[in-house]
Homo-oligomer: A and B are copies of this chain.
Amino acid sequence: MIRFSVADEIFDRPSFWVKEGKIELIDQRRLPLEVEIISAGTLEEQIHCIKTLGIRGAPAIGSFAAFSLSLALDRGEDLEKTYNALLNSRPTAVDLRNCLDEVKLAFMDGGKDQASKTAFNIYGRIMEACRMIGENGAQIIPDSAKILTHCNAGALATMDWGTALSPIRVKKRDGGNPFVWVSETRPLLQGARLTAWELLQEGIDHRIIVDSASGYLMRKGEVDLVITGADRVCANGDLANKIGTYEKAVIAHDLGIPFYVAFPKTTIDLKCPDGDQIPIEERDPSEIEELRDSRISPHGSTAFNPAFDVTPAELVTSYITEDGVFSRTEFLKMYIKKAPL
């Protein structure tokens, strides 16, 4: 759960939940300085939340969209139209498609009750998967490890525990003393805003750095391991994650620092042969050109804003899922069922 206080009251909540036919969520656009729970009742409101990053993180988007679809079906809305509108809300994280497909199949198989049951099942399953990612991943974290992470792959990006942050939380719970370098993650600062906020709630020691300081720290011996989440893991082990992940993987590889990726099975895309086939979302240039609606760069200069990059499997030390910690060969054998490379 995510523990936070609003007006002296202490809450323990997942990143979102369903209440009376609506989805309630911690509004991630306003964190960390304002903690606000908002309610999204219509499909349009829910899609707006996804597109504007009120809710974000590959597993959270998948489960949130599964609820959006099942609630729309409950209201008697059209399957294909709703499915497509949700599927097109963000392109890179495959959890979205995987979770929507599961609800769609359930609806075709058993109607709206089956669809609803499936959406709740996905929600519980991902939450449990993230807990297990923590239990499995904690084994690869030395007791007082200095860990570099990027973006936010915590409870806010899932529903509870997180992916990259889950092993760190478990390590802390079990008496370890992990330290986290939080890469701020431009342009939308999910590291400085969300990961720092989560670590603060959990009492985990950390410092925020600009994204391009991670190489400096790795070269100085200040990073024992790198761990990130993923938005899509391909059938050859390549993966997409927040822009900047690839750079960290290259430098870690160059310096012999382990680079781990943590994700639940919903992030695996069996249909995607390799990283070059992953659609990379390009977001609005204004996210870079402006800060809080005020211009940074000169009028006349425009930005290019890819939100993700691709890290080749060769740079990954291990894959951490709810089932264990796997080398590339083991990962492919476990999930892809092809001859190992």
Contacts and interface: CB of A to CB of B under 8 A. Distances in A.
A244 B297 contact: no
Interface stretch (A74-82, A97-105, A206-214): A206-214
B197 A298 contact: yes
User: Is the contact region of chain A dominated by helix, strand, or loop, or is it mixed?
Assistant: mixed
Interface in A157-191: 181-187, 189
A92 to B, nearest CB: 13
Contact of A210 (B215, B251, B288): B288
Interface string A275-312: 00000100001001101101111101111111001100
Contacts of A208: 285, 288-289, 297, 301-304
Interface residues of A, number: 55
A297 B212 contact: no
A288 B209 contact: yes
Contact of A212 (B207, B243, B295): B243
A186 B200 contact: no
Given A219-B310, A288-B184, A309-B215, A210 B297 contact: no
A2 to B, nearest CB: 13
Nearest to A294: B292
A301 to B, nearest CB: 4
Contacts of A296: 184, 189, 192-193
Nearest to A251: B250
A32 interface: yes
Contacts of A211: 186, 210-212, 244
A20 interface: no
- A-B pairs with the 7 shortest C-beta distances? A212-B244, A215-B247, A32-B298, A196-B301, A216-B309, A186-B210, A208-B303
